[in-house]
Structure formats: structure tokens, C-alpha cells
A and B are shown apart, each in its own frame.
Chain A
């Protein structure tokens, strides 16, 4: 599953970058959304294969858990990613609106 994740991250990165390179603001926003997912999965893949491990809820007798650190990082990254995407969306809106109004 680990190798599959690696390939998937590569694919997502490729799609995201391709969208970002287009000369269109909307595609830039979409590309950025995809990029967020790609980066999140990238960080998650650092915890290696999840098979045979449990969720990072530590109870006595359960010490074979997945790596909690990438998860904590991603959790904030998701919410921050939303904030940044929202900012970008409004920025795009503002640019297009002002260009349109002129």
C-alpha cells in the first residue's frame, strides 16, 4: 500500500501542477485544491505502511500504532489549507470582478 500511495501522490502532484500552469485563474484554484491533497498525502506517506497497525489512540497494551506526528501536521494543514484556498478564491474573485467592471 505504501508504494501505491507514493505513485498516487506523484499522480496528484502532476495533475495539480498541470492545472496550476494553465493560464486561467479558476484552474489555478482547482489546481491548488488538488495540490493540498497531494501534499497532505505526501506527509501521510511518511508514516509508512499502515497495515497491521492501529489508530494512534494509545491504550495500555496497544503500542503498535501508526505514526501520530504526520497526522497532527496534516490536521492543521487541512484547516490552514482551507483558509489559504478561501483567501485565494476571494483574491481571484476580486481580480476578475475588478477586471470585469472596468
Chain B
């Protein structure tokens, strides 16, 4: 799919940037106000999907340069990593400090973005 409307192609890039800023904001304040990794992840994924729909799959691929599944897997590793780290300090599994929930949530964010955009891109590529 590729949309040829001038207005859409001209505005989408700004909307995408805006969406990601919103996602970051929602992610950061997630612990105290509505938001968090899951929501921010879906918003970022939506922005990537907008790129795919408006500018086409090849452009998007060239723009983001890496395979989204790598994003997902590294997110998974970050989440796992922060969970098992306390074990090395003789603390229980998933022992949280002040900042570690944020890291865990970041892992969640990466997984959600990676998985959703990978699935959509994969299907978009299939003719």
C-alpha cells in the first residue's frame, strides 16, 4: 500500500515525530500517571505503521535501518536481564530498586514496538 495524496505525504512525517514524542512522554510518566511501556509501545508502533502505509515498505525499511524483530528480542533480553540481575547480588529474583521498573518497562516498550511493527511489515511485504 502506498498513499499518493500530497497533504498526507507532506504531513505524515511530522505526525510520526509528534506521535513518538507523545509516546516518550507517556512512557516516562507511566509510573505515576496513565501510561507505561505497553501504551507507549502501541503508539510508537502506530507511528511506524503510518510510515509503512504512507511512504511504502521500502522507504520505511531504509529509514529505520534495522529489523524490528531485533528490537523485540533486545527488549526481551533487557527485561530478562533486569529480572535476573538481583540474583548476582544475592537478592530475590526481580528485586526492584528505584529505577529498575523503568528499565523493565522499557524492555516491554521495545518488545511491543518490535513485535507489532514486524508483524505488519511482514504481512505488508507478502504479496
- Interface of A with B (CB < 8 Å)? 55, 57, 75-76, 78-79, 82-83, 86, 89-90, 93
Query: Complex: how many Å from CA A75 to CA B117?
Result: 19
The binding surface of chain B is classed by DSSP as: helix
The 10 closest A-B pairs by CB, nearest first: A86-B119, A75-B38, A79-B38, A79-B112, A57-B33, A83-B115, A90-B123, A82-B116, A76-B38, A57-B34
Instruction: Check A79/B32 contact, CB under 8 A, given A86-B119, A90-B123.
Output: no
Query: Complex: how many Å from CA A75 to CA B30?
Result: 13
| B72: min CB distance to chain A, Å | 11
| B99: min CB distance to chain A, Å | 20
Known: A75-B39, A79-B42, A86-B119. 8 other contacts (CB 8 A): A57-B33, A75-B36, A76-B38, A79-B38, A79-B41, A90-B119, A90-B123, A93-B123
Number of residue pairs spanning A and B whose beta carbons lie under 8 angstroms apart: 24
Q: How many residues of B contact A (CB 8 A)?
A: 15
Most chain B CB neighbours (cut-off 10 Å) among A75, A76, A78, A79: A79
Complex interface residues of chain B between 30 and 76 (CB less than 8 A to chain A)? 32-34, 36, 38-39, 41-42
A57 touches B116 (CB 8 A): no
| B65: min CB distance to chain A, Å | 24
Enumerate chain B residues within 8 angstroms of A75, measured Cβ to Cβ: 36, 38-39
| B16: min CB distance to chain A, Å | 20
| B127: min CB distance to chain A, Å | 11
Enumerate chain A residues within 8 angstroms of B123, measured Cβ to Cβ: 86, 89-90, 93
Select from chain A the residue with minimum beta-carbon distance to B41. A79
| B14: min CB distance to chain A, Å | 27
Query: Complex: how many Å from CA A45 to CA B109?
Result: 27
Enumerate chain B residues within 8 angstroms of A82, measured Cβ to Cβ: 116
Enumerate chain A residues within 8 angstroms of B39, measured Cβ to Cβ: 75
Interface residue from B34, B116, B122 paired with A55 (Cβ < 8 Å): B34
Q: List 23 A-B contacts (CB under 8 A).
A: A55-B34, A57-B32, A57-B33, A57-B34, A75-B36, A75-B38, A75-B39, A76-B38, A78-B38, A79-B38, A79-B41, A79-B42, A79-B112, A82-B116, A83-B115, A83-B119, A86-B119, A86-B123, A89-B123, A90-B119, A90-B122, A90-B123, A93-B126
